A and B are shown apart, each in its own frame.
Chain A
Amino acid sequence: MKTAGKIFIIASAVLLAAWVLPWIYTLISLKPYSTPFTLYSCTVHDFTSLDRSDGKGFRFIDTKGNVHGDEAQPTFYASVLASKGALPDTIEGRKVTLEEIERNSIIASSDPKDVNRTKAPVYLLMESVPVRLELQDAEEAMVSRKDGIYIYEMASNELLKAKSDSLNAALKALGFTFPARLFAGKPSNRKEYDEGWLVTDSADRLFKLKQVNGLIEIRTFPGADDLHASWLMITEFENRATLAYIVDKNGLLNILKADGTVVPTEVPFDPRKEDLLIVGDMFFYTVKTSTSDGEHFYALRADDFSLVDTLERPYPKDFSLPGIRYTSGSDGWVKPRLRGFRE
């Protein structure tokens, strides 16, 4: 046993050193690195990056090196331009107003750390048509189990059996196969309106559950069933044009429009590994996916989501000491993983 104790101490010391020494090295050698804010311009028709290196304020540089002012991003900086009386009344041959621009401006993001974590199978259920018009905090919650979705009143922690039975019977009648696999929703009262939850069943069919006047309204999306969604994000943007973003079995981003139709895009996105940022206006969407290797930009037309342009921006490789790390910026788990070059 003495030998076992000695081996235990040596092994522990090696594991500790392999964890702590690279961490200290990284801490000492880490240099700040940032990339400029980049959007596709609806006036320049090119990606423009914010440059403040001369300290003289905002200027935008396109991929050809041309320098532009705020007018290169008239929708993103619409309020600034309007305050100066410089907001154009026509963009892309279309008459625009500040109100219209603001209503059609969207921002959405996803972080792998929010995807890669153990979540409780409990989903807060809001009333989508509140009596007092403003959205209120959820009073009920759905609990996903192997044989159904059960609704609880949170205040009393009591199962609402009749409501749950009615929901499960309705879902089964529509061909829903339990257990549910993915849930996507934003049960917050800090939004304009509530679309409820998008849910996929065990056969990857897509459904929407929304509480309207105390009853659960179910909607199916036959056009989305072949996608075999691996990731969903409900949008709930002010313009109500879209319902969700969906990553399909091929790893491509799809847009689920409010009318239930699915528009595929050519944007590859792995929500488990990549950050996603979508900034859109009434003309173009700039989609940025990024890993530790670099950033990938895609410009899509806002009307049909066709690909207009792309831009790649690799990050410089940073050397880090090989070793073990137990946490990661891209997941919420503690587990050993080898580290070498920056991941």
Chain B
Amino acid sequence: MNRMIIYKEWLKTRWALLGVVLTFAAVTFYCFLNLSKVVEIRGAELLWEALVDKDTVLTEILKYLPLAAGVVLAACQFLPEVTHKRLKLTLHLPYPQGRMLLNIALYGLAVLAVIFALQALVSALILKQWVVWELVARILRTMAVWYLAGWAGYLFAAAVCLEPTWRMRAVLLVLAAGFVALLFKSEVPEAYNGFFPVLLLYVVLSVSLLYYGVARFKEGKQD
């Protein structure tokens, strides 16, 4: 059954995923093409100076990509369930409802994790050509919060899709906006290092929102 669920999610998301992957590839390519031109024209010293003296990690153009990817993926997975009234059918399959919902969400989170990991890996490999590992690690630690925003965006968007009433959707949107604003509040590199585990825990706990929405759907809540 797990494989069937994954296959079903794959069918729903494959074109969106292709779009997300191509967008990630294009923007990442653009980002590092720009940096390679800076290195070519003005030398890698400029990258070192910027990373050491300025509040930048040079890859800010990638900042909102994970969040957008999370929202798009969640919409592709959960909107059809709601708009095409498939959720009721999904919940009536001979499989524990909670595990079904968790597997659907884990599919999305895992796919996002793979895309994020690939981007981080490519970024690290390219940056390693120009600067020492200490600076590469600084960039990756800063980018980790952007990836967390991707997961948060995914889970909150999924919760909004599954929620049956507009009033509660509005509440969820306000909470999502607040949390995302917190994740993008600081421009200072490594500003979230100490707080990151707590933020990660919050994102993990936000999975409960999916169950809350489904429970309300089953109770027949409506506007």
Q: A1-B98, A333-B194 are in contact. Are A155 and B52 (CB under 8 A)?
A: no
Q: Of A5, A9, A332, which one neighbours B215 at CB under 8 angstroms?
A: A5
Q: Which residue of B lies closest to A188 (CB)?
A: B53
A121 on interface, CB distance cutoff 8 Å: yes
Within 8 A of B (CB), among A276-306: none
Contacts of B134 in A (CB 8 A): 120-122, 143
Q: A117-B188, A326-B185, A334-B192 are in contact. List 13 more A-B contacts (CB 8 A).
A: A1-B215, A6-B212, A8-B209, A12-B179, A19-B178, A120-B189, A124-B48, A137-B45, A332-B186, A333-B186, A333-B194, A334-B185, A335-B195
Contacts of B185 in A (CB 8 A): 326-327, 334
- Most chain-B Cβ atoms within 10 A of its Cβ — which of A19, A137, A335? A335
Whether B52 lies near A333 (C-beta < 8 A) is: no
Contacts of B172 in A (CB 8 A): 9
Residues of A bordering B, CB below 8 Å: 1-2, 4-9, 12-13, 16, 19-20, 117-118, 120-124, 137-139, 141, 143, 152, 154-157, 326-327, 332-336
Within 8 A of A (CB), among B182-210: 182, 185-186, 188-195, 198, 205-206, 208-210
Contacts of B171 in A (CB 8 A): 9, 13
Contacts of B21 in A (CB 8 A): none
Whether B186 lies near A155 (C-beta < 8 A) is: no
Whether A5 lies near B131 (C-beta < 8 A) is: no
- The dominant DSSP class at the B interface is helix
Whether A122 lies near B195 (C-beta < 8 A) is: no
Nearest chain B CB to A10 CB, angstrom units: 10
With A and B bound together, what is the CA distance between A327 and B191 in angstroms? 9
Q: Which residue of A lies closest to B101 (CB)?
A: A1
Q: Which residue of A lies closest to B186 (CB)?
A: A334
Q: A137-B45, A138-B45, A327-B185 are in contact. Are A9 and B52 (CB under 8 A)?
A: no
Whether A157 lies near B194 (C-beta < 8 A) is: no
Instruction: Give me 22 A-to-B residue pairs in the complex whose CB atoms sit less than 8 angstroms apart, sorted by A's number.
Output: A1-B212, A2-B212, A2-B215, A4-B211, A5-B212, A8-B205, A8-B206, A9-B175, A19-B178, A120-B138, A122-B48, A122-B132, A122-B135, A124-B49, A137-B45, A137-B49, A141-B52, A157-B130, A157-B132, A327-B186, A332-B191, A334-B191
